A and B are shown apart, each in its own frame.
Chain A
Amino acid sequence: MKRVKLPLLSSFCLLLITCGALQANAQYQAGSAAALADSTGSQDMPQAGAAYHLHYIKQARKDALGAVDQLSEQHLQGQASPAVDALLQGKVAGLRATGYSGAPGSGTLIRIRGNSTLRAGTTPLYIVDGIPVAAARYQHTLTKSADINPLADINPEDIESITILKDAHATALYGARGANGVILIKTTSGTSGKTYLDFTGYTGIQQMPSQLPVLKADDYRAFILAKEQSRGLSEEQVRQNLYPAFYNDASHPDFQRYNNQSDWQDMVLERGTVNAANLKLKGGDALAKYAFNVGYIKQNGVVTDTKFERFNTRFNLDYKVSRKLRFFNSISYTRSDRKMQDEGNSPNTNPLLLATLKAPFLASHRQDPEGKNLSRLDSVDFANRSNPIALTTRVNSVNNTNHILGNIYAEYDFLPGLTGKVSLSADYFRLRESKFSPSVGITQVRNIQRYAAENNNVDLLAQNENTLTYTKKIGGVHAFTGMAGNALVYLDRQLKSARSINSPSDEFSSISSTSAANIDSAGSSASNYVLASYFTSLHYGYADKYLLGFNLRADGSTRFGDNNRWAWFPAVAAAWRLSAEPFLAGSRLSELKLRTSYGRSGNHEIGNYASKSAIVAANSFNFPGVRLGILGDPNLKWETTTQLDLGLDAALGRLSFSLDLYTKNTRDLLNFIYTPGVSGFHHYLTNSGSVRNRGVEFGAEGRILTGALSWTTNFNVAYNQNEVTALPGGESQVDDYGSFQSITQVGHAIGNFYGYKALGVYASDADVKVTNAYGAPFKGGDIIFQDVNFDGVIDERDKKVIGNSSPDVFGGFGNTFAFRNFDLNLFFDFSYGNQVYNAQRAQLEAMSGYDNQSTAIQGRWQKAGDQTAMPRMLHGDAVGNTRFSSRWIEDASYTRLKALTLGYTVPEGSARFRVLQGARIYATAQNLLTLTGYKGYDPEVANVSLGHLYGVDYGSVPQLRSFILGVRLAL
């Protein structure tokens, strides 16, 4: 931190120099700052006077040059959504939001205009009131594959607007951080004059939309018996191999244990609830304006004993010191607490996955001879599966975040039109995780009976930003805005972790409750980076008809290699407002604008020290040892995205449209170069490879009906095509994730699933024409795998692309009807052309082990001549019917009624509510209806630990069906 002081000083210096230079040339003119005055509040329809809340400058919508979308308060508040990222789903053309999980406190995978990286970060840049906030996820959380979403710390009720920057011109101003898109969040500021006290609150229940049909106890028992017999065992041998109590021998002491009818899904699930309350005080006078907000939400998940609880408070203050000097402060504090369960590929600790696999004739607890549950949980079963109830009642996996955002900035009007701004801001984010996994009922890994673990992660981001803005209008037709500035960002990250194993009993659940010898691991890591930047933005408008823009940012970062310390990101944009031309005067086209922009942005999520060769620890028999462990490329740099955007905005009567075409080429992809073994290294990171995203975005809004019954509608849709255009050495890269593989190839999309193509099931032995390179020969009842290269052998060379996680087409569709004081809103979102690897079904239809199976296996192939899509059961699966193939890849396209809301606004001035200035009550049903052919819980699948192959479903918690009642009272 010590070094930050100097650049701060230099920032001021630059400010003063620029100021002086402009001073020399400036002519005193009546400023046109008024042209860029505060918006009068957002409406459903874009209005000529409305402004975009951009970070560096405020811009009237009609002057916009790029592809910029803004969501106003109406889209954000009263939506009964706990997290801001979920609100973006289906709202913005070209922004694809996919929920990671329906578990409380989980977030959303956001992709703007496709995927433009292989190994660097994919998260957009989030800026809240000028502060770049933590949004990327921590890897290796204690709760496996669960999403601890830092954006859940932002209360949607605090937000006034969200602006999404997509095109090169807008994102170039964010330089090396802009390539994944930029999301600007502005929180509510105070008002002058009137004082408002707003209370909002809602309460509701949340449910799993469906459960998966699995075998009941008797069918399961019959299936296991049939499978064991099919491997040549007699009934007597099965009896001996497994457990005597497997059958209905009531005299056996274990009879009770193996003769139950457990619906495990039902047992691990409960009804979820959500309750939220929010109080907002806004007010002020001509000199000072303030907004104070306190919010609380508690959500109980559908998986038993999971929860999310958030308390947040925010205070925004605008203060006019003099005619020329203004101060703006904001500070917010958020505390979030979560209790979670593992998700993802953890069949013994992910309750929802385990519940479908667990033998249904077992019970959660041991029982007395009368069959009554004793307090003792049943232990790990004969198939080495955990007890799901041990997970939901005994595993303690909790975490909390403390999140402080602070910002202060001063604006000074040097001259009319010339304003300087200095801001200081900080984002402090601490995540503390704690987990205890007991011995009882949980399958041991590496003989560790029980363990306790703690992680403590602290991020501190500090930022100084200084800008100087000059606005001038000459002769009434030449409008000029220029901005120059510099910024300095410092991020420090500290991680500490400890884990102890085998405490004396399950009652001792903290890391300190064991002997020091049982501290299994203790670790820490620390890293930092500095980003120093200079930037400028120039806008010129002629008679509101011709608009030109130029943005430039230079970013220098400690992350970049010695030979590439500075990155330059220029962009230009032009627009022509035909509607302001005389030849269109009086036409019904109230707005017609052609836009184009071209420029660069970057992605600097390449790791903090990846450009440096580093010495790492290599102890030998506990003697401290080191080695040269990392080869750093001194040429390492950011990924560069060059984007061309063509756009059209039009308003015709009560309709308005927006159309964008883009092509986005990203080069210098962060990538591994593999080195031969003789080098002593395995790989190093460098920039190599490129990818292109091309797409179309269309948005429309309309007031179909006005009058007593009004109907407004909005619709957006986007198509994106992703293609890898170069890779190191031109090769394809196959990545192995254990149970599945992906391939990255030139000419194909990023994140393709790579496996065998399953064509059906052999009806009889005689139909088999190919040999099996890996495993026993194919027979009747086995899967027909496609012999891609026609060589008569099914082997590695027959693998092909069998799916992709990213949709081709996606969007949203909203309708609002109003009649008198009632309003009805229907909002749909949809996604088409994406595939999901249904890994849960791969286990539920494996028919090779002792896991419970889907009821679909009842239709399996049983004898020669059977025509079915379900293969034969085969203990151990020596043939490989369960191998990763298109059998498990499903089309996850869907259309969903995301929200259905009916509201009633109490008429103002109605006698009964004289104390109130306004009141509204509403009822919302979320995720009421989903149209899909997907067979798992939910087609909306994203996996937090898999960047590009996020469509992998290990029974993740689906988006919940919620029924919510809400109220808003203005005092």
Chain B
Amino acid sequence: MKNILNKSRYALAGLALACCASCSLLEPKAEDVIFQEDYFKTYHDGNAALWGVYSGLQAWVEPMFVLGEMRADQVEAGPGATADLLELAEHRVTATNRYTDWSPYYDVINRANYLLENLDKIEKSPFFTQAHEDQYRGEMYFLKSMAYFRLVQDFGDVPMVPQAITHVNANTAYPAVSQEVVLDSIEASLNKAALLVTPAITELNSSLATVTHASLTRMRGVVASVNALRTEVYLYRNKYAEANEAAQLVYNNSGSYALSNNFSNGNWFNLFKNKFQNLESIMEVAFTYASRETNSLQRLTSADAGGQAMVLPSLVAVNRFRTGNTPTAAIKRDRFRGYGASYDSTASHYLIYKYTGLDRITSPGAEVARRKPYESDANWYLYRFSDVQLMRAEALNRLGNKSQALTYLNAVRSRVSLAAVPLTAAASTEAIEDAILQERALELAFEGKRWYDLLRIARRGRPEVLRAAVLSRVPAEKKAAVAAALANPDRWYLPYNARELQLNPALKAKP
């Protein structure tokens, strides 16, 4: 009896212990996930979070390609096209169309916000100095700006999400903000980014020496990529002087970026054969089959076992390569960028070749290296030098410096052994603009740029250019309906997605 009572005293002490033990015992212990509260401590945490934001860009590639091409004139729906693709091609997009899902862009915005809000928690070290923090911050501003710019071009007015969504009770009901307000904010954010980012990505190696990574520089936000985006944003807003200045900042890194002088013998395809290796590359979304990071470009564009021939080059695009750029002056065909580089032809179809080929096709039937059907890991260009140069030409033309505009335009052509366009500085602004637009169609075919080029020109007071281009590809029986749709500038933008309208009460459907 006494013995037991004695024991119970120990037990009382034990109970107190038990309570504490239970408390920590019932804290979940992570094994293969990391809890939010345990993250953001060292340089490695920050670096991985940074790459995590960039990985979000991979999901942009399909909407960028589809929305940038399907609505314009360079492609048409192939035999495998889905109903959603047909809606885009015929400009009758409904709210249930999967390409109206904007979540890939907001995903990146949220990831970027999340990193921005946690950057100050990362312990400073020689690997992560204030300069690194600034660089990261600049990159996040840049990525957010790019996401909002994509959204604005696709949807017009869009919601802005000021902070990271990090818990289930966070507000997710955001109303759409006017397009001009969003664009102002993009400009401001890019101005900050331009001051924070560095010309090249450097890191400390194990012996604490600074190493420059040429390929990382072409995957991340640096001076050149930030200013390429600034050029495009200013051009979209018809701020030609600012666009020209921003483009100049890309040129200032001339050691790292320039038009290649090595393309005249057909090496232009090297842009698609090699990743990051080219002087003309500014920023690429990177894929690699080695880690099974693949995209849907082959599924969309190829007709072999890995593809469904959903998006094919239109006859308009093929003829553009075949006959040169103006109907008046027969210029020899675009040998190095046309057949065998931008497109391929089979017995039944033309096919987009940029994402399946690993080498230029020099003659029909020749054996060339191609990606395996399931290894769809072609990189995706966000910006390359010729793109910036043609944007700059466009700005200069509008600023009245037509001769410099033509010089830039013809430099792009001569590097692929094409003659200068038959225009002089005496030509009209519109004629030169058309020539630049035409060159962009050839140079940047199937890279998701075409619709946005047409949209930009249309917004500039020339909607007939957009209308004529799209209608040139639309079959006769659909022309009337498409023309009617394009007559309404509101229809140049997509409707809000039905799921989004249902889940975001602050978002009101477009009239």
Contacts and interface: CB of A to CB of B under 8 A. Distances in A.
Interface in A3-37: 3, 6-7, 9-17, 19-21, 23
Interface string B465-500: 000000000000000000000000000000001011
B35 A613 contact: yes
B8 interface: yes
B291 interface: yes
6 contacts: A13-B17, A17-B15, A20-B5, A621-B219, A676-B507, A678-B159
A633 interface: yes
A618 B51 contact: yes
B82 interface: no
A526 B56 contact: no
Contact of B27 (A12, A558, A673, A680): A558
Interface stretch (A150-158, A622-630, A643-651, A786-794): A622-630
A802 B14 CA distance: 60
A171 to B, nearest CB: 23
A527 interface: yes
A560 B28 CA distance: 9
Given A15-B11, A532-B22, A619-B55, 9 more contacts: A6-B18, A11-B18, A13-B10, A14-B18, A23-B4, A621-B286, A624-B48, A631-B167, A681-B110
B101 interface: yes
Interface string A381-398: 000000000000000000
Contact of A558 (B28, B56, B292): B28
Contact of A622 (B24, B30, B293): B293
Given A676-B507, A678-B172, A680-B110, A628 B28 contact: no
A659 B107 CA distance: 56
A681 B25 contact: no
B203 to A, nearest CB: 11
B31 A526 contact: yes
B32 interface: yes
B103 to A, nearest CB: 3
A615 B51 contact: no
Q: 9 closest Cβ contacts across the A-B interface?
A: A10-B18, A13-B14, A680-B110, A20-B8, A625-B51, A677-B103, A526-B31, A6-B21, A621-B286
B503 interface: yes
A447 interface: yes
Nearest to B45: A626
Interface residues of B, number: 82
B504 interface: yes
Contacts of B114: 627-628
A3 B13 CA distance: 19
Contacts of A686: 168
Interface of A: 3, 6-7, 9-17, 19-21, 23, 414, 444, 446-448, 517, 520-521, 524-530, 532, 556-560, 565, 608-609, 611-616, 618-628, 630-634, 673-682, 684, 686
B36 A20 contact: no
B510 interface: no
B435 to A, nearest CB: 37
B132 to A, nearest CB: 16
Contacts of A613: 35-36, 166-167
Interface in B131-154: none
B8 A17 contact: yes
B15 A680 contact: no
B288 interface: yes
B29 A528 contact: yes
Contacts of B503: 674-676
Nearest to A494: B31
Given A556-B26, A624-B48, A677 B106 contact: yes
Contacts of A414: 4
Contacts of A517: 290
Interface string B362-388: 000000000011100000000000000
B497 to A, nearest CB: 7
A552 to B, nearest CB: 17
Which one of A517, A613, A615, A619 has the greatest number of beta carbons of chain B within 10 Å?
A615
A3 B24 CA distance: 9
Given A619-B51, A679-B165, A525 B7 contact: no
B33 A619 contact: no
Given A19-B8, A678-B106, A614 B21 contact: no
A625 B24 CA distance: 30
B18 A679 contact: no
Given A16-B10, A626-B52, A682-B103, A614 B33 contact: yes
Nearest to A613: B36
Nearest to B18: A10
B12 interface: yes
Nearest to B39: A615
A677 B500 contact: yes
B350 interface: no
A678 B4 contact: no
B426 interface: no
Contact of A20 (B4, B31, B288, B305): B4
B218 to A, nearest CB: 11
A558 B26 contact: yes
Contacts of A21: 8
Interface string B45-75: 1011111111111100000000000000000
Contacts of A557: 26
Contacts of B109: 680
B500 A10 contact: no
Contacts of A17: 8, 11-12, 14-15
B102 interface: yes
A611 B28 contact: yes
B37 to A, nearest CB: 8
Given A19-B4, A626-B52, A680 B36 contact: no
B287 interface: yes
Contact of A447 (B7, B29, B305): B305
B365 to A, nearest CB: 22
B53 A627 contact: yes
B111 interface: yes
A620 B106 contact: no
A624 B21 CA distance: 36
Contacts of A681: 110, 165
B167 to A, nearest CB: 7
A125 to B, nearest CB: 20
A682 B507 CA distance: 17
A633 B169 CA distance: 8
A628 B164 CA distance: 10
A670 to B, nearest CB: 14
Contacts of A615: 33-36, 39
Contact of B11 (A14, A630, A676, A684): A14
Which one of A21, A526, A612, A621 has the greatest number of beta carbons of chain B within 10 Å?
A621
Interface in B224-251: none
A624 B55 CA distance: 10
Contacts of A626: 34, 39, 45, 48-49, 51-52
A16 B4 CA distance: 8
Nearest to A566: B26
B330 interface: no
A530 B25 contact: yes
Contacts of A620: 51-52, 54-55, 57-58, 219, 286, 293
A631 B293 contact: no
A559 B29 CA distance: 10
A623 B306 CA distance: 26
A6 B25 contact: yes
Which one of A526, A527, A557, A625 has the greatest number of beta carbons of chain B within 10 Å?
A625
Contacts of B11: 13-17, 20
A826 B56 CA distance: 64
B31 A627 contact: no
A419 to B, nearest CB: 15
Nearest to A16: B11
Nearest to A10: B18
A731 to B, nearest CB: 9
A520 B290 CA distance: 9
